[in-house]
Amino acid sequence: MFIAQAYRAQNGFWRYLIGSLIIFIASGIGQIPLLVAIFIKKGPELMQGMDESDIFSTLSKNLTFFLILISFVFALGGILFVVKFLHQQKFKDMVTTRSKFDWGRAWFAFGLVTIFTVVTTLLTYYFAPEDIALTFDPVPFAILVVIAVLFVPIQTSVEEFVFRGYLMQGFGILAKNRWFPLVMTSVIFGGMHYFNPEIDAMGDIVMVIYIGTGFLLGIMTLMDEGTELALGFHSGNNLIAALLITADWTAFQTDSIFKDISDPRADFTDILPVFIIYPIFLGILAYKYKWTGWKEKLFGPLEPPQEPSLEDHLVAD
């Protein structure tokens, strides 16, 4: 069982609290290059009270995008340090129950969300051209492709390692069940996005999408006994979104192919995909990977793995 692999490590919950703090500090250190760049460009007196839209107008979009993503490289270093030295755990055990990482699963989930995102964006551009403008500029876009392909998978992997790996196992060991870590990691994952500019532009209802996405990725992880599907899905979602479409009110503003120029206000219809499309995604994955035991894997108790008894050793001998 995926969560139970944490029993092989140093798993006192205080270690997860300290580990989370270390990862947070590492991420904060990684934001220093962005702050230095803004300081050089604007000066210290203009940095106070700047929001994300000010940051993107201060530096070029590609440079800002690159400097934002650099912080996740530092966070990844923090994760590797915490897992190895604080928990004395094999990194693989925090990622999957399989003997090695299943790239086939990651690529399938990547392709699934990529096809959906590309198709829905093109359909919107065709049927509602007043809402999406074609802004393709080959040189900035080529630079964006290099930055995004290299660093967006690191950004999404860091988030998955933290929420669907590290904290999923930590909360599971604490509560000794599966539903508590699923709920906690999904709510915290959504809450981490609360200060994104999308919330100011579209309203708090967008939190349903963020928290719902957390549940989607968490269910993938628990049902599949590993993070491969969540890693592939999250990477595909963010990478294709960064390359395909941007807006003035999004957390990542890029030199993408299209730009959303519609009114960003959201209502109930905008969150329907959480209740319609996400279950379809899960249904496709469940069919392909033959998931069974939903109740046990999502709501069942968590028991420490049984150590082989002396009698078992004698029988084996």
Q: pLDDT by residue for the chain (317 residues), tens digit each?
A: 899 999 999 999 999 999 999 999 999 999 999 989 988 887 665 555 555 556 656 788 999 999 999 999 999 999 999 999 999 999 999 999 999 999 999 999 999 999 999 999 999 999 999 999 999 999 999 999 999 999 999 999 999 999 999 999 999 999 999 999 999 999 999 999 998 888 888 888 999 999 999 999 999 999 999 999 999 999 999 999 999 999 988 888 899 999 999 888 877 778 888 999 999 999 999 999 999 999 999 999 998 876 644 344 444 43
Q: What is the pLDDT of residue 307?
A: 60
Residue positions counted in the chain: 317
- Local structure of 244: helix, strand or coil: helix
Q: What is the pLDDT of residue 195?
A: 86
- Is residue 222 within 8 A of residue 297, CB to CB? The reply is yes
Residue 63: both structure tokens together: 């440079």
- Is residue 64 within 8 A of residue 253, CB to CB? The reply is yes
Indicate the DSSP class of residue 252.
S
What pLDDT digit, counting tens, does each position of 59-95 carry? 889 999 999 999 999 999 999 999 999 999 999 999 9
Q: Beta strands of the chain (E only): which ranges?
A: 132-134, 245-246, 258-260
**Residue 229 CB contacts under 8 Å (≥ 6 apart), including other chains:** 105, 106, 108, 109, 220, 221, 285
Torsions phi, psi for 154 (to 5 deg): -70, -45
What pLDDT digit, counting tens, does each position of 182-231 carry? 999 999 999 999 988 888 888 889 999 999 999 999 999 999 999 999 99
What is the rounded average pLDDT for all residues in the chain? Answer: 91
Give 132's strand partners.
260
